[in-house]
Structure 1
Amino acid sequence: MQLRGKQKRFLRAQANHLQPIFAVGKEGLTDQWLAQLNGALDRRELIKVNILQNADVTTAELKDFIERGTDIQVVQSIGRVLVLFKVSANKDRRELSDRVARI
């Protein structure tokens, strides 16, 4: 699903109260980290990711790594925090994506 402007605004509003549940640290970006991120997005559909101060990764590098080869979309990037969205593979957990599709 390619997001339009109104859909991104809606998702940013929904993510406003969320705390980051994933972090990128000194270990950097790995395929295992991306697999865990994918699993969390299948359960929640919308999460925040924090880049720690000791990470050797920039925000642009993280965005490229996440978007390359996956259907995860970066909704917003504020400083060292990214808001990510993915439609859940489980139809029972698609409440948020169903609301986004109606916008």
Structure 2
Amino acid sequence: MLKLNSSQRRSLAARAHHINPIVMIGKDGLSAGVMSELDKGLSNHELIKIKILNGDRKARALLLEEICQQLEAFPVNHIGKILVIYRPETEGKEPAC
């Protein structure tokens, strides 16, 4: 899983404050359709929010890790049932914060 330093994470979390979740993950978990929508969202916006409707904190943390590994994204924030992830527009590019 890719990592951000604390100042990058704070800057991205501030940018994400006013955006709405683009995907909601329910009881079916990470299906191919969900992963496809997450990939499209990251391609279009770089920074997205995800809402998880089920599971405890540990399960949500595992989902965050799995999503970031599969999509080569940076985990930004995990507060309650909301996850924030970031993937730079061009592959291999470090976050510009």
What is the DSSP-based 3-state SS (H/G/I as helix, E as strand, rest coil) of the residue aligned with 2:39?
helix
Structure 1: state its 5+ residue gaps: 91-96
Q: Distance in 1 between matches of 2:23 and 2:31?
A: 13
Q: Is the 8 A contact 1:42 1:89 kept in 2?
A: no
> Are the aligned partners of 2:49 and 2:85 in contact in 1 as well (CA < 8 Å)?
yes
Counterpart AA for 2:38: L
Cα RMSD of the aligned pairs, angstroms, is 2.4
Q: Give the match for residue 17 of structure 2.
A: 16
Q: Deviations over 1:10-68 (max 9, x none)?
A: 0011011111111111221113311220111110011110011xx35721221122022
Does 2:62 align with 1:61? yes
Identity of aligned residues (%): 32
- Give me the whole-angstrom Cα distance separating, in 2, the residues matched to 1:69 and 1:83: 15
TM-score by length of 1: 0.76
Deviation >6 Å, runs of 4+? none
* Equivalent residues of 2:68, 2:85 under 8 A apart: no
TM-score normalised over the length of structure 2: 0.80
Q: d(CA) in 2 for partners of 1:46 and 1:65?
A: 17
- Based on CA coordinates, which of the two structures has the bigger radius of gyration? 1
Structure with more relative contact order (C-alpha pairs < 8 Å, separation 6 or more): 2
